[in-house]
Chains A and B, each alone.
Chain A
Amino acid sequence: MPDAVQFIQSLVNGVGVGLIYGLVGIGFCVIYNASGIVNFAQGVFVMLGGMACEVLLRKFHLPLPIAFLIAVPFVALVGLLMEVLVVRPMWNRGSPLFAIILATLATQIMIERITILTVDEQPHTFQEFTLGGPLKIGAIAIPYQLFWIVGCGALMVGLLWLFFTRTRAGRALRACSQNREAAALLGIPVGAMLLLSFALSAALGAVAGILVTPMQAIAFNSGTPFGVSGFIAAIIGGFGNAAGALAGGILLGVLQAVAIVLLGAGFKNVAALTALLFVLFLFPSGLFAGLKPKAH
């Protein structure tokens, strides 16, 4: 039997990685709400964020804040290009949504291949943002990076909340998610909003990737597990509900961590998929469907 320390330790780690899932889940929601598209390349933004930052640190010897400030806009640009080159042509032609969704999956594979060609196939990592950890509380060790994840995660969620409720563009994005026709009739450029949602969502993924890479090395194909976990987080939260996705992510991270301690590492994905099926069967519109988002 695992002891209490081990158990609490796994909870701590689970919260950290769960927040990352939550950020990825929110990324799914942002695009889905604006367009109805499930962007299966969401995980690739996480990988690209971590990878771009690592390359900037290792090859260009940039300080971390600078690398961060370059990597995030770079990934946002990739998201933008993806919308312009892949999604928009299909959207304008009136392609069925499932075809567009498949195209996002193809884009993910393409970006992975380009990453192999331009970087390599190896896993990469870099130092924690603050060295000298972990923080010891009794027998429990909390890596400093976890505080960064929690802090930056909270900051991102706060900024997103301000963006969606207080800014003209944020309100317009929410309007598009509720009624695209009505939004267009008020003069909101719905197409530009879709573009914005891809850039925003990619930037979110990139931040998640940069935060997690010191704790979990990133390789060209690391996007998929993050994408899948973020997707599950979004479903647990009721797809499209950003706060739900965040909560869903934390729940999933904790659940996986506990499953690893109690049942062994092999049960990590079993736990995640069991949670997914459980939610889909019992709460088809998410665990938090009853809690309607408050108006502002």
Chain B
Amino acid sequence: MTGTPLIELVDLAAAYGQVQALKPTSLTVAEGEFVTVLGPNGAGKSTMLRAAMRLTPASGRVRFRGRDITRLSTHGRAREGIILVQEGRGLFGQMSVRENLILGAYTIAAGESVEARLEEVFRLFPRLKERFGQTASSLSGGEQQMLAIGRALMAKPKLLMLDEPSLGLAPRVAAEILDTLGTLNRDGLGILLVEQKAPQALRLAKRVYVLSLGGIVAELAASEVGSHHDLSRFYLH
């Protein structure tokens, strides 16, 4: 890896009461890199992402483009360009597709640039344009996930983090969404994708971390996963 990483989680750890949901964990994503974190249900994936955004109190440090942002608030981190698409999507269900998208652009200046961002998102997800005036809660699961990602893109993020975006979606829809992530990455967007099982997420990723019982148990190049007997058995099928 060359240069300063986009994001560095250094010994990030979090607990819910007595439960150590995330043991001290370190992870980096380079500029423009696609990194996937795999782990079974309850491994601590969501906790890690929440801690990275300071939604959950955590110890350890977070650096973004070399700058220590450990003390920065959740909204401050978003302002820096780190956008998390939450597990369960976190949409504003009673608001329209349009309003959800406009809110996504909260951190960027108003006016023309918002229109330009909207066009960009519609180019990636034409379905959202058709559903423009509908409430978010009236969308199908796949459309909701598209909206969640589209809303995140409205902010012109530098790092996009996604918590199990394919959860609960038909395989074909999930594949379509992950394809889009590939496209975004090819355009230079840094991506940190968290999934339980996803052969496709592995095809897109350059590097893979495996999280289990609250700690990282493996870090390897995506190309190595197929030849790794245990991992391929758990995560490819």
Contact = CB atoms under 8 A, between A and B. Distances in A.
The CB with the most chain A CB atoms within 10 A, among B75, B86, B90, is that of B75
A171 interface: yes
A171 B103 contact: yes
B104 A296 contact: no
A196 to B, nearest CB: 14
B94 A186 contact: no
Contacts of A137: none
A168 B106 contact: yes
Given A168-B106, A171-B102, A187 B92 contact: no
Given A186-B75, A296-B95, 8 more contacts: A175-B95, A178-B92, A179-B90, A179-B91, A186-B78, A186-B104, A186-B107, A295-B134
A184 B54 CA distance: 10
Contacts of A268: none
A186 B101 CA distance: 10
A292 B96 CA distance: 13
A113 interface: no
B155 A182 contact: no
B25 interface: no
Contacts of B102: 171
27 contacts: A171-B102, A171-B103, A172-B106, A175-B95, A175-B103, A178-B94, A179-B91, A181-B74, A182-B86, A182-B90, A183-B103, A185-B74, A185-B78, A185-B90, A186-B78, A186-B155, A187-B75, A187-B106, A189-B73, A190-B74, A190-B75, A292-B94, A295-B95, A295-B96, A295-B133, A295-B134, A296-B95
Contact of A295 (B86, B94, B103, B106): B94
Contact of B92 (A182, A190, A292, A293): A182
B151 interface: yes
The CB with the most chain A CB atoms within 10 A, among B86, B94, B104, B135, is that of B94
A124 interface: no
Contact of B106 (A181, A186, A296): A186
B96 A296 contact: yes
A98 B135 CA distance: 32
Nearest to B96: A295
Interface residues of B, number: 29
A88 interface: no
The CB with the most chain A CB atoms within 10 A, among B78, B107, B133, is that of B78
Interface of A: 168, 171-172, 174-175, 178-179, 181-190, 292-293, 295-296
Contact of B91 (A171, A182, A293, A296): A182
Contacts of B93: 178
Given A168-B110, A181-B55, A295-B133, A186 B103 contact: yes
Interface in B77-110: 78-79, 83-84, 86, 90-96, 99, 102-104, 106-107, 110
Given A182-B92, A187-B107, A295 B135 contact: yes
Q: Secondary structure at chain B's binding surface: helix, strand, loop or mixed?
A: loop
B58 interface: no
A293 B137 CA distance: 13
Given A184-B78, A185-B53, A172 B133 contact: no
The CB with the most chain A CB atoms within 10 A, among B53, B74, B90, B155, is that of B74
The CB with the most chain B CB atoms within 10 A, among A168, A172, A184, A190, is that of A184
A6 to B, nearest CB: 44
A188 B90 contact: no
A171 B134 CA distance: 16
Contacts of B73: 184, 189
Contacts of B55: 181, 184-185
Interface string B128-164: 0000011100000000000000010001000000000
A171 B90 contact: no
Contacts of A186: 75, 78, 83, 103-104, 106-107, 151, 155
A174 B92 contact: yes
A190 B76 CA distance: 11
Contacts of B134: 295
B106 A185 contact: no
A296 B103 contact: no
Contacts of A171: 99, 102-103
A171 B191 CA distance: 28
A175 B151 CA distance: 13
